[in-house]
């Protein structure tokens, strides 16, 4: 088997393992993938008698990305911390397969699962609300969703390394939710943000994913949003690689990170 094929196999095994883990302790997934998107969709779309198609499109994209970000900070970011709690982190660090592949694969599993559950929840909720959704360009929306999922996967991998440095992961996850919702304008207008905070917003890939997908729902292509989304995802990947190298260094050489 070539090294590339072996790497793919490790990544997919990680994804399968993570999906099984999520299904085993399914309550978190039910909250993030069912309760949250359903309620937000009822509020954003279901509280208005006859919303305009563009408003519906924007609301649907906003709710989907809100749910995806929640999955990233609550589940994707806690992958390695979960291993530490279960006592399997040390085995992962010294294992034969490259830990980076395992973590990327598991983050992929989180995002595949999140995408499927959130899509199903939103479909059922929109059916209950009897609310049709107009998709302007299926191709652009698919491309945008794929890029957003990749970006979330990379962010989840970065955060997963950082979360190993603290034992208060859940509290940090909680603190990361609403700032990103607000800074990315997922369900709120970006004009609400004070001017000094808008440059922070420009540095978050989800903000550009929101713009790309909202435009795609109306059938328009936004090259600036696409470029920023791809560029920021690449930058996050470099930051993640550095964070991973630093954390493994702290574990292996300096011994200052707890493994169990």
Please give the residue ranges that form the binding site for other proteins (CB under 8 A): 27-28, 30-31, 35-36, 38-39, 42-44, 46-49, 51-52, 55, 128-129, 168, 171-172, 174-175, 177-179, 181-182, 187-189, 192
Tell the smallest beta-carbon distance from residue 101 to other proteins (Å): 31
Distances (CA, A) of 150 to 92, 141, 159: 23, 14, 14
Nearer to other proteins, 43 or 91 (CB): 43
In the chain, which residue ranges form alpha helices assigned H by DSSP? 3-24, 27-30, 36-44, 53-74, 79-86, 89-94, 99-129, 138-163, 169-183, 198-202, 205-217, 223-249
Tell the smallest beta-carbon distance from residue 213 to other proteins (Å): 18
Nearer to other proteins, 162 or 187 (CB): 187
Nearer to other proteins, 38 or 226 (CB): 38
Nearer to other proteins, 13 or 133 (CB): 133
CA atoms of 107 and 18, how far apart (whole Å)? 8
- For residue 44, the tally of other CB atoms under 10 A from its CB is 19
Tell the smallest beta-carbon distance from residue 48 to other proteins (Å): 5
Nearer to other proteins, 58 or 100 (CB): 58
- For residue 142, the tally of other CB atoms under 10 A from its CB is 12
Residue labelled with tokens 């920021």: 232
Under DSSP, the state recorded for 123 is: H
Nearer to other proteins, 38 or 149 (CB): 38
- Cβ neighbors of 253 (< 8 A, separation 6 or more) are none
Tell the smallest beta-carbon distance from residue 91 to other proteins (Å): 25
- The tokens describing 52, both together, are 């305009």
Nearer to other proteins, 55 or 249 (CB): 55
Tell the smallest beta-carbon distance from residue 28 to other proteins (Å): 7
Question: Cα 257 vs. chain centroid, distance in angstroms?
Answer: 25
Tell the smallest beta-carbon distance from residue 3 to other proteins (Å): 41
Tell the smallest beta-carbon distance from residue 131 to other proteins (Å): 8
Distance linking the first and last C-alpha atoms of the chain: 34
Tell which residue, 208, 190, 198, has the closest CA to residue 152. Answer: 208
């Amino acid at each position: 088997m070539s090294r590339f094929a072996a790497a793919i196999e490790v990544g997919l095994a990680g994804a399968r393992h993570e999906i099984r883990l999520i299904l085993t302790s399914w309550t978190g997934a039910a909250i993030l993938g069912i309760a949250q998107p359903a309620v937000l969709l009822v509020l954003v779309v279901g509280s208005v008698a006859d919303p305009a198609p563009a408003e519906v499109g924007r609301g649907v994209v906003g709710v989907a990305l809100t749910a995806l970000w929640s999955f990233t900070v609550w589940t994707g970011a806690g992958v390695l911390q979960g291993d530490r709690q279960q006592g399997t982190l040390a085995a992962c660090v010294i294992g034969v397969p490259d830990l980076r592949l395992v973590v990327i694969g598991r983050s992929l599993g989180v995002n595949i699962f999140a995408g499927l559950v959130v899509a199903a929840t939103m479909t059922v909720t929109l059916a209950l609300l009897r609310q049709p959704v107009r998709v302007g360009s299926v191709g652009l929306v698919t491309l945008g969703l794929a890029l957003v999922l990749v970006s979330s996967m990379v962010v989840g991998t970065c955060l997963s390394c950082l979360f190993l440095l603290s034992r208060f992961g859940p509290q940090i996850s909680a603190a990361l939710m609403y700032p990103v919702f607000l800074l990315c304008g997922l369900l709120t207008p970006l004009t609400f943000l004070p001017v000094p905070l808008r440059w922070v917003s420009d540095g978050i890939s989800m903000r550009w994913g929101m713009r790309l997908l909202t435009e795609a729902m109306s059938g328009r292509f936004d090259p600036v949003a696409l470029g920023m989304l791809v560029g920021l995802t690449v930058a996050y990947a470099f930051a993640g690689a550095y964070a991973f190298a630093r954390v493994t260094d702290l574990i292996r050489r300096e011994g200052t990170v707890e493994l169990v």
